């Protein structure tokens, strides 16, 4: 049996991180088992569908690397892959229910006649689930066709899964209670039900349900902030799935190798944007300086910063310290231009050192007298200046960093000195010395 999974989004809004995780788990399961991953667009809600939303879904999945084997733009033997184009298919399957007496008209709409019995399903994540349909007051017969002739989600969802020979349905836990309804429909059709796996919901750190307005909810925002797609995939995979090891950093190919439905947690997942940024930083460590610089450049340019001749050297100095490409402009601005702002707390701390002004002025003189300039030579001059003034080198290092960068933390001081060069360093030292 060839494993066939599907992702069936509705193009009524952007690709939500929850939807992306559903797509990812289906993609990983299909790849793990050498199967087929199908993209099916549930676009029967004409009033809410938009072309922008549909494109956002495609763009988001492409950015994440979740290519589909069958679906829009790819084709396949089970199309069309837009539900809006499948009404003739639904009409045929509805006729089967009509001929077998399993539907009846009710106020212009058509209801599916449930068999009044308990329905038990074996979910691959949630275990055994039973819904008792003997009490009609709790489980009224289900509308499958509206009075306007359109079909409801439950009907088209089941028909498409049967028609497309889907073997495994991996979807959010919010659909768990729908599944017994679907099993009754499948039984009425005489079809073979797929195996179901309902994955836990994604909650905010405070335990509230993650909404579309929460930070990190929209997949389309991640590239704008400078995330790597591989890192976002890695992070999303850990929302409700556990590799059963201490390891947390994976490539998409590695995830496909070790993914298992058995390792999906039953408890809801907690979304943590800071953890996502940490995962991104771990992936960035493996990116070459040249590739990192190229990816960061649009963010640097958008911030109005010049791309200097020593741009690669500047990027190399901060590469291992930033978490996102979007963080790069603020980390490098003082190296690419002389007009930069000072952190008020860092400036106040420098001013708290009574001898900082005189030490910076003395260091500027010593820098000016150096025959050759390098980070090491400048550091040696710093030590000599401090000792000559009867101070410790550490007393001079902090005000020097503030003078050169305007902040308390950042790249290695030797890298800053080397990148800025003697003239710019001397100018900045004298400027701050005059203010202290």
pLDDT digits (tens, 9 = 90+) for 371-400: 899 989 999 999 999 999 998 888 899 999
Query: Considering only CA atoms, which of 366, 423, 424, 425 is closest in space to residue 393?
Result: 366
Beta partners for residue 75, in sequence order:
71
Report d(CA 182, CA 158) in Å as an integer.
Answer: 6
41 three-state secondary structure: strand
R_g of the chain, CA atoms, integer Å: 30
Distance separating alpha carbons of residues 27 and 256, to the nearest angstrom: 8
- Calculate ∠ Cα 72-61-267, nearest 5°: 120
Mean pLDDT of 108-121: 96
Mean pLDDT over 75-96 rounds to 97
> What local confidence, expressed as pLDDT, does residue 104 receive?
98
| Residues 6 or more apart whose Cβ sits within 8 Å of residue 91 | none
Q: Residue 19's closest CA among 57, 73, 71, 62? A: 57
Q: What percent of the chain has pLDDT over 70?
A: 100
Residue 370: pLDDT band with limits 50, 70, 90: very high
Classified as helix, coil or strand, 414 is: helix
The residues that bridge with 16 in the sheet, in sequence order, are 218
How many whole angstroms separate alpha carbon 78 and alpha carbon 2?
14
- For this structure, is 392 an active site residue? no
Which residue in the block uniquely carries the two structure tokens 């909404």?
211
Predicted local distance difference test score (pLDDT) of residue 209: 84
Least Cα distance to 42 among 83, 76, 95, 1 occurs for: 83
The pLDDT of residue 67 is 98
Structure tokens at 82: 């837009």
Least confident of 182-186, 192-196, 332-336, 388-392: 388-392
Q: How many CB atoms lie within 10 A of CB 98?
A: 14
Question: Contact, 435 vs 407, CB < 8 A?
Answer: no
pLDDT of 295 strictly over 90? yes
The average pLDDT across 306-328 equals 97
Residue 249, C-beta contacts closer than 8 angstroms, at least 6 positions apart: 234, 279, 282, 283
pLDDT at residue number 211: 74
Quick check: 39 and 53 in contact, CB under 8 A?
no
3-state helix, strand, coil in the chain (%, to 5): 50, 15, 40
Cα-Cα end-to-end distance for the chain = 77
CA distance 281 to 172: 29
**How many whole angstroms separate alpha carbon 196 and alpha carbon 336?**
55
Q: What is the pLDDT of residues 140-168, one digit of tens each?
A: 999 999 999 999 999 999 999 999 999 99
Q: Look at residue 85 in the predicted model and tell me its pLDDT.
A: 96
Q: What is the mean pLDDT of residues 349-376?
A: 92
Burial 245-280 (b: 16+ CB within 10 A, else e): eeeebbebeebbebbebeebeeebbebbeeebbebb
Element (H, E) at 112: strand 109-112
- Counted residue by residue, the chain has a size of 436
- pLDDT bracket for residue 92 (50, 70, 90): very high
The single residue of 95, 117, 209, 212 carrying the catalytic annotation is: 212
Residue 145 has a CB neighbour count (10 Å cut-off) of: 22
**pTM value surpassing 0.85:** yes
Q: How many CB atoms lie within 10 A of CB 215?
A: 10
Average the pLDDT over 396-406 and give the result.
96
Q: Which residues contact 161 (CB under 8 A, 6 or more apart)?
A: 6, 169, 182, 194
Query: What rounded mean pLDDT belongs to the chain?
Result: 95
Quickly list DSSP for 151-194. Answer: BPHHHHHHHHHHHTT--EEEEEGGGGGGHHHHHHHHHHHT-PPP
User: What are 4's strand-pairing partners?
Assistant: 36
Distance CA 351, CA 131 (A): 71
Digit-coded pLDDT (tens) for 225-273: 999 999 999 999 999 999 989 999 999 999 999 999 999 999 999 999 9
Q: pLDDT band for position 12 (50/70/90)?
A: confident
Cα separation of 176 and 198, whole Å?
Answer: 6
Measured distance CA(72)–CA(58) in Å, rounded = 9
Residue 52 is encoded by which pair of tokens? 């922008």
How many angstroms separate the most distant Cα atoms in the chain?
Answer: 101
> Does residue 214 have a pLDDT over 80?
no
Asked if residue 14 has pLDDT above 90, the reply is no
DSSP symbols for 179-232: HHHHHHHHHHHT-PPPEEEEEPPEE-TTSPBP-TTSTT-BTTHHHHHT--HHHH
Instruction: Classify 37 as helix, strand or coil.
Output: strand
């Amino acid at each position: 049996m060839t494993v066939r999974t599907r992702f069936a989004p509705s193009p009524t809004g952007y690709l939500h991180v929850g939807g992306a995780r559903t797509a990812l788990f289906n993609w990983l399961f299909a790849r793990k088992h050498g199967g087929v991953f199908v993209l099916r667009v549930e676009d029967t809600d004409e009033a809410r569908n938009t072309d922008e939303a549909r494109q956002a879904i495609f763009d988001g999945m492409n950015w994440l690397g979740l290519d589909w084997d069958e679906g829009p733009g790819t084709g396949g033997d089970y199309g069309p892959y837009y539900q809006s184009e499948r009404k003739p298919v639904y009409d045929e399957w509805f006729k089967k229910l009509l001929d077998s007496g399993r539907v009846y008209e009710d106020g212009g709409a058509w209801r599916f006649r449930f068999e009044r019995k308990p329905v038990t399903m074996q979910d691959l994540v949630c275990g055994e689930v039973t819904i008792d349909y003997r009490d009609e007051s709790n489980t009224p017969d289900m509308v499958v066709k509206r009075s306007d002739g359109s079909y409801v989600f439950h009907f088209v969802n089941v028909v498409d899964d049967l028609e497309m020979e889907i073997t495994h349905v991996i979807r959010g836990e919010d659909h768990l209670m729908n599944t017994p309804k679907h099993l009754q429909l499948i039984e009425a059709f005489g079809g073979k039900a797929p195996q179901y796996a309902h994955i836990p919901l994604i909650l905010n750190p405070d335990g509230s349900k993650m909404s579309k307005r929460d930070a990190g909810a929209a997949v389309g925002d991640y590239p704008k902030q400078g995330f790597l797609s591989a890192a976002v995939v890695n992070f999303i995979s850990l929302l409700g799935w556990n590799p059963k090891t201490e390891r947390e950093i994976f490539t998409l190919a590695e995830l496909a190798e070790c993914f298992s439905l058995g390792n999906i947690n039953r408890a809801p997942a907690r979304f943590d944007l800071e953890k996502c940024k940490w995962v991104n930083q771990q992936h960035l460590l493996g990116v070459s300086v040249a590739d990192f610089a190229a990816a960061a450049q649009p963010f640097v340019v958008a911030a109005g910063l010049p791309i200097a001749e020593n741009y690669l050297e500047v990027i190399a100095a901060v590469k291992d310290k930033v978490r996102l490409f979007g963080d790069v402009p603020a980390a490098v601005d003082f190296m690419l231009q002389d007009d930069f702002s000072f952190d008020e707390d860092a400036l106040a701390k420098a001013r708290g050192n009574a001898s900082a002004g005189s030490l910076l002025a003395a260091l500027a003189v010593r820098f000016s007298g150096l025959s050759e300039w390098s980070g090491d030579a400048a550091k040696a001059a710093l030590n000599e200046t401090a000792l000559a003034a009867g101070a410790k080198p550490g007393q001079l290092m902090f005000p020097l960093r503030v003078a050169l960068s305007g902040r308390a933390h950042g790249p290695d001081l030797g890298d800053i000195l080397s990148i800025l060069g003697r003239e710019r360093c001397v100018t900045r030292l004298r400027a701050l010395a005059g203010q202290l």
